[in-house]
Copies of this chain bind each other. A is one copy, B any other.
Amino acid sequence: MAGALDGIRVLELSRHLAGPFAAMTLADLGADVIKVEPPGRGDDTRGYPPFWNGVSCYYLSANRNKRSVTLNLQADDGQEIAKKLIKESDILIHNFRSGTMERWGLGYDRLRELNPRLIYCAISAVGSDGPDRDRAGVDLLMQAYGGLMSITGESGRPPVRVGTSLVDLTAGANAVQGILAALYVRERTGHGQRIESSLLEGQVSWLTYHAVSYFANGEVPERLGSSHASVAPYGAFPTSDGFLLVAVASDALWRRFCEAIERPELLADACFTSNALRCENRDALAGVLNEILSQDTAESWAARMDAAGVPCSPVNNIDDVLNLPQVAHRDMVVDMPRDDIPDLRLPGVAIKMSDTPGSVRTPPPDLGQHTAEVLEAAGYDTAAVDRFRDSGVV
């Protein structure tokens, strides 16, 4: 079966994670993605350790299913080549700072004249206008600037970074959503449009209940370790041999939980009869549960809770997760050999489509691996490509 985006061409003028991950998602869904990188060094992430047979794992993780073309976008010839490629593209993704593309003659107003069907997606730190528009965006910074770090970590301890670059990934996911919606609109109207996604806006949108709670009562949420502001019991509880996570998110689950731990008398305790009361009496509840759960092993409690349908989980390490039979069953780890990395493995495609399934078809490319192929298909002859190479344009 063909991919959902078969026949769609994406020009990716981006680096780091948000833009590359967005473009990779479109590539996974079947699009032909041409990644444009600066000659010589390429995407900065090509220099990030650790390396797998000399290739950055960071780079490898966000660039499969793409072709790589080098292009110096600061050179006039580079801009001309880019325009030629843009004429034949459906989607352009960039994550340069606000104003950079315009300086290169590649702003949306100019490109729309060249290609009215173009869907132009700008990924930035905080959006293309507004008082902070020149702010640079990197994941850690935006985890701090966007408030996420302030609510992640233990109570009374310093804020911590979320272990993945999730602000970048959120902005990438929002970009893809805007692009796909625009592609649907284009099928109906014939016109492309400009999409924006930013690291700050993605985070504000994902603050969800924290934002609304703050608007409601003016209280600023704080760090809660592994517990939850509005659900209890919900969090890590110590057993005799390690932490067990328990998530009792409804009153029905509270009943099953009390039965699973063989403490039906808790159901009658007036302090705990509703989620609101359990939140209010959170500390007393934790005291009771810590004492009960520390009397047996995590595995033993988990077996009882699983049998009763009470959600619980061990804290899996990355190796535990990637070796889960469930993960293998769902094709979430795929082998994708490269000549120089014959045992290359990558995470699979999380967006599952029955009739137009996503796929991992080609490994992440070497820098400029497809420069000649793409330029020649765009009408440049071999001699021209050689001249561009000699002059540092590609």
Whether A158 and B57, one on each chain, are in contact in the complex, defined by CB atoms closer than 8 angstroms, is no
* Residue A382 interfacial (CB < 8 Å): no
Question: Chain B residues near A162 (CB, 8 Å)?
Answer: 148, 152, 162, 166
Whether A158 and B236, one on each chain, are in contact in the complex, defined by CB atoms closer than 8 angstroms, is yes
* Residue A300 interfacial (CB < 8 Å): no
Instruction: Please tell me which one of the listed residues B57, B180, B225, B247 contacts residue A138 in the complex, with CB atoms under 8 A apart.
Output: B247
Interface string of A346-367 (1 = CB under 8 A from B): 1111111111100000000000
Interface string of A39-50 (1 = CB under 8 A from B): 000001001111
A203-B182 Cα distance, complex, nearest whole Å: 26
Question: Chain B residues near A58 (CB, 8 Å)?
Answer: 208-209, 212-213, 230
A319-B204 Cα distance, complex, nearest whole Å: 11
* Residue A27 interfacial (CB < 8 Å): no
* Copies of this chain in the oligomer: 2
Can you name the residue of chain B whose Cβ is closest to the Cβ of A50?
A: B213
* Residue A4 interfacial (CB < 8 Å): yes
Whether A144 and B191, one on each chain, are in contact in the complex, defined by CB atoms closer than 8 angstroms, is no
Q: Is the interface of A mostly helix, strand, loop or mixed?
A: mixed
A394 to nearest B CB, angstroms?
21
* Residue A318 interfacial (CB < 8 Å): yes
Chain A count of residues within 8 A CB distance of the other chain: 157
Whether A225 and B164, one on each chain, are in contact in the complex, defined by CB atoms closer than 8 angstroms, is no
* Residue A380 interfacial (CB < 8 Å): no
Interface string of A76-109 (1 = CB under 8 A from B): 0000000000000000000000000000000010
* Residue A392 interfacial (CB < 8 Å): no
A210 to nearest B CB, angstroms?
6
* Residue A23 interfacial (CB < 8 Å): no
Whether B326 and A159, one on each chain, are in contact in the complex, defined by CB atoms closer than 8 angstroms, is no
A52-B123 Cα distance, complex, nearest whole Å: 34
A199 to nearest B CB, angstroms?
10
Whether A144 and B47, one on each chain, are in contact in the complex, defined by CB atoms closer than 8 angstroms, is no
Whether B247 and A141, one on each chain, are in contact in the complex, defined by CB atoms closer than 8 angstroms, is yes
Whether A311 and B160, one on each chain, are in contact in the complex, defined by CB atoms closer than 8 angstroms, is no
A289 to nearest B CB, angstroms?
15
Whether A144 and B209, one on each chain, are in contact in the complex, defined by CB atoms closer than 8 angstroms, is no
